[in-house]
Every structure is written in structure tokens, then in C-alpha cells.
Structure 1
Amino acid sequence: MAHRLTREQARRIAVRAQLLSADRPAGIVETIDALTVVNIEPTAAIAPSADLILWSRLGWPYQPADLVRLVEEDRAVFEWGGFYRTMADLPLLLPEMAKRPQSREAREWLAANDVFRREVMAKLRAEGPLRPADIADTAQVSWRSSGWTDNRNTLQLLEMLVLRGDVAISSRDSGGRLFDLAERVYPTDLPVVSPEDAARERAERRLTSYGVARAKSLSQPIEPIDVGGVGEEAVIDDTAGTWRLDPEALAAVDDFVPRTALLSPFDRLVFDRKRLEEIFGYEYLLEMYKPAAKRRWGYFALPILHGDRFVGKLDAKADRKAGVLRVFAVHEDTPFDALTTEAVHREIHDLAQWLGLEVQGLREA
């Protein structure tokens, strides 16, 4: 028999699963492990997405330099497919890496450039870690695309080799990513997990990080959102169809203690816009790609979570030269009461303090 949830219960399960209740996690690795992935989108209108995601969970103790150390020195965290992940999850990804590249076009291009591939691997072995610009483009066949990757053969090859697990991203700096042989970045004594067991465990971990999710959702090429048949069946009041539920999350739903948080537009709690509307009744669209005149909420507006509800969007920008966090608007989906205003303003000031900036433009109550 399917579990029956109110929307309030579903919201609280989802928020708590994403570590956004008052019970904060203890550290970076624990946070990434619970979330399974942390988006690396580098747009820094306020701060890079990974930093905002981790700050929103950990608060002021989080410092970007600590994440860098975990990636580049401790090798407890690694980058794959546009996300940070814990190294403990690498065995679950190896079967996925073995299937890359998945498109026939990419496989044929890689085969046609086998000499190029061997030259790049040899250069990395001799001189790595390297940037794409450090590696000569000796491709036998150019990569053709209608997008920005057209004829960027070295970068395209490195991206494919990372997805295959032959190459890994060793570090990042102001000049971008540095690539090296995977054997010098990843541990070599990894357990072997069958493709079937890996797929199921990844789905179970995703469901734990969501709390409640659809069996089938948005199609994502690198990091799926679907959870398949794991967990237990549930129905949520005023939503159609069935959901999959983490039963342990349901058992803890009465332990929910609310807080207020400012989220990255790339946060996994808001990433699935359909789920966001169904459970939270919240409309959100990242507008950085829209002309300024057509934006409703701002270039990089942050979703505002208050308890188990999304209540608005913060339109702000970090002006580091001036030393201020410029607040252009706090968009209230419905008018804030005094307590909500106080909590949201306190979170904005906490964000500015963490960034080392002063708040400018916020209309204090």
C-alpha cells in the first residue's frame, strides 16, 4: 500500500533530505556525500554555485579554500561530469565511465583520432597536469559542432577522456582546469561493482538525497534525476500520480526544525522545476540568459527558502571592488510578515559577512 503524504510532509522531507533544516551537517565531505553531487557552475555574480551550495548547508565555517584542499591535496572529493563528488562514490561511476562516450558521433570521432588520443595521453604522462592550451591540437579529424566546442579538438578530447575515466581533472585555478592521468588523481585499489549494483546504489543514494521523488523525471545526460523503482511508493495530496519515498525520511518527518536559507539557482532542491512546483508551489526561472529588459527577478536571483516554503527571490550582486553586496530587490512571492522579513534579512547579512562584504541597498524593516 502506498504511503500518503500531505504536501507539507513532502516539503519537509525534501528540505531535510537536502540538509536545509536547522540540523546542519558537520563538514564538506559529509555534505557532498549526503547530497551525492554539488554543481560546479562557475558563474560568480555572488559566488560560484558550489560555494553557495556548501555555504547554505554549513554556514560561516565553510571556506572555499577547504574545498580546494579536499580536491587537490586530500583527494577526498573529485570532479566528474560538472559536479563535485566524494571519492567514495567513484566505484559506482566506473561502470558508467566504461560506457562513454555514448553517442555514435563521439565514438566515431574518438576512433578516427586514436593517434591524437595516444599523443595526448603520452604528453600528460610526461608533463601533466596540463591545461588544454598546453597541448598541441594534432587531431586527424576536427570536431564539428554548432556550438562553442566546434573545432576545439584538444578540449573535446580531454572532456571525453575524463568521462571515460582515462583522464581526470587534477585541479582548478584562475586559468581554468588542469588535466592529468586518472591514475595520478584517482585511487587505484577500488572495489569492483557490477553495473547493475552500481546503478541501483546510485538510484538509492539519489532518493536519499531527495527524500521523495518521481520514478522518472527530467532527462539528464550526465547526472540523472530519476530514481526508478527504489524506495517505497507514495502519493502526495493534490499531486497526480505516484512518487518514490525514502522510508527513513518519512520516519524522521516530525523531527523537522525550520530555518531560512538562500540557495544557488543550481541547487538540487530547485533544479527539477516541475517537482518544485508540484511540492512547493514555487515558480522559478534562472534569468541570466535572458535580456535584462525581460527579467522578472534578476540576473542571478537566489531562491529564498523559509522553513518548508519558498517565499521569494533575492536579486543581488557581489561588488568585490567596492566591498559591498548590492541588493537590488527582495522579491516577495507573498508579502512577508515581520518574522519572515527579519529571518531573510539576517540571512542576507550572514551571506555578506561570509563574502567579506557590506550590505548595500537592503531596505531594513
Structure 2
Amino acid sequence: MASRVSDDPSTGPVFRLSHRSAQLLHLEAQGLLKRATRKARKADVAATIARMGMLQIDTINVVARSPYMVLFSRLGSYRNEWLDNALADGQLAEAWAHEASFVPAGEFHYHRDYRLGRAGHWAQKLAERTHAEARADMDALLERIRTEGPLMASDFERDTPASKGWWGWKPEKKWLEAWFALGKLMVLRRERFQRVYDLAERVVARWPEPPSAGTLDENTVRAHFIARSVQALGIAPARWIADYYRLKPRVTDAELEPLLAQGTLLRVDVDGWDEPAYVHESHVGLLEKAAANALRATRTTLLSPFDPVIWDRTRALELFGFEYTIECYTPAAKRRYGYYALPILHRGRLVGRLDAKAHRSAGLFQVLGVWLEEGVPLSPALVEGIAAAICECAAWHGTPRVAVEGAQPKGLRTQLKLACAG
């Protein structure tokens, strides 16, 4: 049952939602409830990232690099260069957020000034150690960029083998990344997904709206990230909030009381949850729809392993009953679902996973396997939805030939092949 159950004079209206309504509210906040009613436009890229608060960066390119895939899941077919353009045009910035991420340029100053969170982050600690060990070389690199202008790691030629650690990067790449983590360099643009670095002050000076020079205090930054986390998640108990922007320490119900009192957050009770949940004030209309059981999920799509819906494995398990492990870091012999299995979202439920590889030169989208979750019934609507998601993804890649090589349960492979052929 979903309803508005009371009005508390201290916190305002209190709503009660079913678990299913909470799922749908989360997906609508993330832009994954329904198919878009029109073709994607260039401006949709920055708007979608603003809606999520960030877009995590990962370089694995078996199907598509994660940031492009996350956008595809929400926008459908779009042009990948729109993301590159949004960065180069100053609509987006790169920053350490959940992990390395694209963030709205208008919110960059919060990331820039989040000193407490960065202090314990592995990238910050590694950058500080690297600077202590190679201060003269790093200072010389920074001066070269100051004099010559923006540079890429490939602009530094080196005959000696790459070192161990830092993913086998050559020293100059490590130094560039260290200066990026320390805030002296920023990413001006990307070329073939490779970072082009420039001095931070020169990058932000090119933006349509450069960030303020003043430093935000820690409490202001933390309150902003807490509110943005709840807004991006749609609905969340306090213990889910800190992970979104990797806040430390963890967020508690007591810390949220001032945000309730000022109306930034609304308190929600969810059937089966033994703790209160929270919704951002900007979603009050969406909350009322959820309380009236008026949200409907129609989208079927494939998700990146680094999609905000799935990156917090505990949240995905509690909200959707979906247990997910990315297996690209698991030895091949021990993998259950494949190197880079993509969660399948069907009409508001995580129903399975799909392991695929896009062979762009051959125009082939190879589906190595599809696995439905235990208890998910094999229905015509499910087969049609998964097949459509596969074909949509294949077309976006320019790999129109689809080969379904394996699927479980029995009979799914044949049905998917027929649906994709049709």
C-alpha cells in the first residue's frame, strides 16, 4: 500500500510507500523508468549527468566504455562525441566524486573544496606520496604545461619501460594524474578518450560560468552532497547516502533532521523497511505519484556495471534483490557470468545479466550469454524486451548483426534469436 499517512508538525507530511513504489521512484529519479518520447539531443547529455549528479568514468571497452553506456541506458541511441563536446565546452568537469567522474561544471566548486573526503581517498594519498618522491620532476612537468599549453601523456616520449604500479603508467602519466588529484591540473578535453591536461585556472577560465574563487566550508559542501545524493537516488535511508559521493563519516538520521526541518528533505516510510527513508523536496510531485501507485515502468535496457543503480552492491541487493559482482577482475576459470556482464533492467526490475562483445570492424554484436535471475518467468513480453534492448544497443554500436550464442533458462536462446531476427 502507498499513501500519505500523516502530517508531522516538525517534519511536514509523512508518506508511506510500498517496496515496489520505492523501486519505481528510484528509477524515475535516475531517468530509467520509461523510454524517451523523442530522439536524444546534444543538450540531453549534460542534463542527464546533472540529473544523476555525476557520471563515473571507466575505460573497459568490451561493449562500450561505462560513461557512454550509462548515457545510452537512459537516452537510447545518441552520438558519443556529445559527451566529449560537453566536457570541451565547459558544461562538464572531471573530478573525484564517487570515483573519477564527469560532474556538472556548475557544481565543480563543491568537489574542488571537499577537502575532508579527499584526504582519505586512495588517489589523494597516492598523489601526495608521488609528489613527495618526485617533487622536482613534477614541478618541471607543471612548468612545461604552463609554458607550452595543454598536453597529453602521449606528448611525453620515453624509451624506458613503464614502471610497475599505477597501472603500468610511465612516470609522466603518474605525475599528470597526481597533479590532477592535487588540483593543480584539470582535464581540458579528451581526444580518443585520452585526457588533455591544462592548468586548473586556465581550464575554468574558459567555462561559460567559471566557479567562484572563494572556498566553501566543509559543512556547506557536505550538506550539498547529502541533498544531491538523495535527489539523485530518488529515495534513500540514511545509510545509503554516504556512498554516492563517498562522504565520510557515514550519514545518520540525526544529521538529516535540519534538512527535514527546513523542507529540503521529506521523510518516507516504506513497507518492510525498519528505518525511515528520505526524498528530496524537488521530487514531491514524483513522491505523490508513487504514493498513489501512479508510476509505471516500461523501459527495458542494459546497464553498465558502473551505473549508479548498480554501483552500490548492497543497495542493489536490498532494493532489487539483485546480487551483482563484476567478474573482469576474476580469473577466467572462476567466472560465472563472463568478463563484463551487463545487468538487464526490464520494466523496473533487474531480471538478469548479459555478457556481450561488440566487434565494430565486423559489424557484429556477439551475445556470449544471457542469464535470467532465479524465479523470473520466461514470458513473451520479457523476451521481446530483452531482444529489443540487445538490438538497440547493437544498432548504437554500428554492429547490426546480432549473434546470440548462449542463454539460460532452456529455450531462451532460441526465442531471443527469433526475436532479434524479426
Q: Which bin holds the TM-score, normalised by the shorter protein?
A: 0.7 to 0.9
Structure 2 counterpart of 1:53? 70
Corresponding residue for residue 95 of structure 2: 80
Residue 28 of structure 1 pairs with residue 67 of structure 2 = no
Secondary structure of the equivalent of 1:360?
A: strand
The separation in 2 between residues aligned to 1:286 and 1:152, in whole angstroms, is: 28
Task: Establish whether residue 16 from structure 1 lines up as the match of residue 28 from structure 2.
Answer: yes
Indicate the residue corresponding to 1:251 in structure 2.
288
Give the match's secondary structure for 2:304.
coil
The answer for the alignment partner of 2:229 in structure 1 is 206
Q: Report the AA paired with residue 359 of structure 1.
A: V
Shift in Å, 1:176: 2.7
- Conserved in 2, the CA contact under 8 Å of 1:207 and 1:227? no
Equivalent position amino acid for 2:219 in 1? E
8 Å CA contact 2:229, 2:241 repeated in 1 = no
2:412 matched to which residue of 1? none
Q: Say which structure is richer in helix.
A: 2
**Residues 320-348 of structure 1 deviation map (CA, whole Å, 9 limit, x = unaligned):** 23211011222111232111111111111
Shift of 1:227: 5.8
CA contact (8 A) 1:287 1:297 kept: yes
Q: Deviations over 1:35-72 (max 9, x none)?
A: 01111111111111011111111112x21111111112
**What amino acid sits opposite 1:20 in the alignment?**
L
Corresponding position of 2:60:
43
Q: Give, in angstroms, the shift of residue 307 of structure 1.
A: 1.6
Question: Relative to structure 2, which stretch is displaced further, 154-163 or 341-350?
Answer: 154-163
Say which of 341, 353, 364 aligns to 1:324: 364
Shift, 1:317, TM fit: 1.0
Of 145, 148, 151, which aligns to 1:124?
145
- Residues 1:158 and 2:200 are matched in the alignment: no
Aligned twin of 1:342: 384
3-state SS of 2:239 partner:
coil
Change (3 A) 1:8 1:217: closer
CA contact (8 A) 2:95 2:108 kept: no
Question: What percentage of aligned pairs have identical amino acids?
Answer: 29
Post-superposition shift, 1:174? 3.9
1:110 aligned partner: 131
Among residues 300, 303, 306, which one is paired with 1:263 in the alignment? 303
Q: Distance in 1 between matches of 2:344 and 2:237?
A: 24
* 1:214–1:227 CA contact under 8 A, matched in 2: no
2: CA distance, partners of 1:347 / 1:125 = 47
Give yes or no for contact 2:110–2:221 (8 Å, CA) kept in 1: yes
Structure 2 gap segments, 5+ residues each: 1-7, 9-13, 260-264, 405-415
Of 148, 161, 166, the residue aligned with 2:166 is 148
**Partner deviation per Cα, 1:257-306 (whole Å, 9 max, x = no partner):** 31212111110001111111111111211111112232222211111111
> CA separation in 2, counterparts of 1:211 and 1:66?
26
Q: CA RMSD in A?
A: 3.0
Counterpart AA for 1:53 = V
Once the 2 structures are TM-superposed, how far is the Cα of residue 201 of structure 1 from its aligned partner?
A: 1.4
SS at match of 2:166: coil
The 1:184/1:6 distance shift into structure 2, 3 A limit, reads same
For 2:246 and 2:352, the matched residues in 1 are separated by 28
Give the conservation status (yes or no) of the 8 Å contact 2:25–2:235: yes
Closer/same/farther in 2, CA of residues 104 and 348 from structure 1, 3 Å limit: closer
Superposition deviation, residue 210 in structure 1:
0.3
